[in-house]
Structure 1
């Protein structure tokens, strides 16, 4: 009887990260470390593989113990359509990476914006200090990057894409009032080497050709760049990426994707539990898991 009661207490509040693929996710490391630090033995955090087509049915089948969901690729846009309510940031970016159960249903939030902004601030990027930034990619995470850059009062954004910038992303950039430049990967290699800030928002391996183009340009382009350059690569598994290693070789300060994940996870923890996140605990756990 005592064992059954204990098991009920341990599963009173449930949360999970959803996505496909999902086995690489480090969100459980962060949230479980936070639960332990706060003494929340009645909270659990799991991993569930789910694609966009299955998301609605999965959420509909969750019982009353479920309190929150973290959402990664390819679910962020679908989650916005499913949410019963959504924050202004989620609506502006067209992406939800967090669902919180409320009395009115599931509420959608986008904590990726916080994650990017705070990771950049930790790296010394000050609001109003940069003339421009490069954004690699134009999907849901790129739109979160735009919102973070708007918070940091960056006036110009250079998109580096293989083809065209998504129409929704371009519209958001213009709504923020950015001056917009669009470059292909060949042209974008020089921009990344010279820009004071680059945010790569694309999956692992997708920027390898850009890194190769940067290596071909090499010292000639980087010699004309500002003294202080920062590159944030949102990838956090199998670190470092080719892009990060190449940028570091030419003098950029690298912000690993785990730093973004930690800050967005801390914001998720507070939204889900109502308690302040133990940020330093989450930083130690996340960095140890991602960087060794």
Structure 2
């Protein structure tokens, strides 16, 4: 049987909800670019059914999975082995299925870094960086952000002690501090919103003098219209204020590379997904 006649290799994204996911379209474009014989679907998983769903997918010959909310912690616990960045993030968004078992990685942070650094020209080395929020999205981004060598990274959260605990967990990797919103003072060159508040049109309480001159504001969520945080950045003089669509494509490209050994071109995919 020729490769063209063979059944395509199976990949999927698992989440709840998952209907809105752009991942099948992204990986479809990557496969077309690189000539890879594969299919990629989305699978809605019951909130208590992640391990069972992965076992079923593996038994049916599936070769790899992306994992989205709320299962990244479950995937971290389920994996037989982990990359260093997934271990530190305590979250997995990419699973490789092989005879050796389940290998878990986290490509969210590298997706964020590549979008900021490579696509938007935002220097992270030596920068004063603020992450707004101390949940799973922030934790997933921290390993890759700190590898870039920022001068200082501060985590701000509604609950100050949660930010302080997260900062302490990464204190060995750089100058990392944490605190509440009420203690925020200005001068940050890169501000990353790692909360989902913007999807609901809400904003954390940010001071008007938060941004250094020429600062970049980056929202890790994405939407067809500018998010509340992107609008805030533009209103407060940010040189760049963008959402996380590029991060979505870049983290997918890293997953694709882990699965297929080929690095796809991301720029045409981002252009295709961005509403006119």
Looking at structure 1, the residues matched to 91 and 3 of structure 2 have their Cα atoms a distance apart, in angstroms, of 38
Match of 1:289 in 2: 273
- Structure 1 291/204 Cα, relative in aligned 2: closer, same or farther at 3 Å? farther
Looking at structure 1, the residues matched to 173 and 136 of structure 2 have their Cα atoms a distance apart, in angstroms, of 16
| Structure 1 contact 30–265 (Cα < 8 Å) conserved | yes
Q: CA deviation at 1:158?
A: 2.1
TM-score by length of 2: 0.88
Per-residue Cα deviation, 1:22-44 (whole angstroms, up to 9, x for no partner): 1221111210001111222x310
Q: Does 1:54 align with 2:54?
A: no
The number of residues matched between the two structures is 272
Written as runs of structure 1 = structure 2, the 5 A alignment for 1:1-292 is: 9=6, 11-40=7-36, 42-62=37-57, 63-122=59-118, 123-130=120-127, 132-164=128-160, 165=162, 169-184=166-181, 186-188=182-184, 191=186, 194-203=187-196, 205=198, 208-210=201-203, 213-214=205-206, 218=208, 221=209, 225-252=211-238, 253-274=240-261, 276-279=262-265, 282-292=266-276
Looking at structure 2, the residues matched to 173 and 48 of structure 1 have their Cα atoms a distance apart, in angstroms, of 33
TM-score by length of 1: 0.83
| Structure 2 contact 129–191 (Cα < 8 Å) conserved | yes
Looking at structure 2, the residues matched to 168 and 112 of structure 1 have their Cα atoms a distance apart, in angstroms, of 21
- Structure 1 27/204 Cα, relative in aligned 2: closer, same or farther at 3 Å? farther
Looking at structure 1, the residues matched to 97 and 176 of structure 2 have their Cα atoms a distance apart, in angstroms, of 38
- Structure 1 206/157 Cα, relative in aligned 2: closer, same or farther at 3 Å? farther
| Structure 1 contact 145–199 (Cα < 8 Å) conserved | no
- Structure 1 86/284 Cα, relative in aligned 2: closer, same or farther at 3 Å? same
Looking at structure 2, the residues matched to 67 and 112 of structure 1 have their Cα atoms a distance apart, in angstroms, of 20
State the structure with bigger RCO (CA 8 A, min sep 6), 1 or 2. Answer: 1
Higher relative helix content: 1
Looking at structure 2, the residues matched to 120 and 64 of structure 1 have their Cα atoms a distance apart, in angstroms, of 38
- Structure 1 255/37 Cα, relative in aligned 2: closer, same or farther at 3 Å? same
Structure 2: which 5+ runs fail to align?
none
- Structure 1 182/143 Cα, relative in aligned 2: closer, same or farther at 3 Å? same
- Structure 1 198/32 Cα, relative in aligned 2: closer, same or farther at 3 Å? same
Q: CA deviation at 1:80?
A: 0.6
| Structure 1 contact 114–264 (Cα < 8 Å) conserved | yes
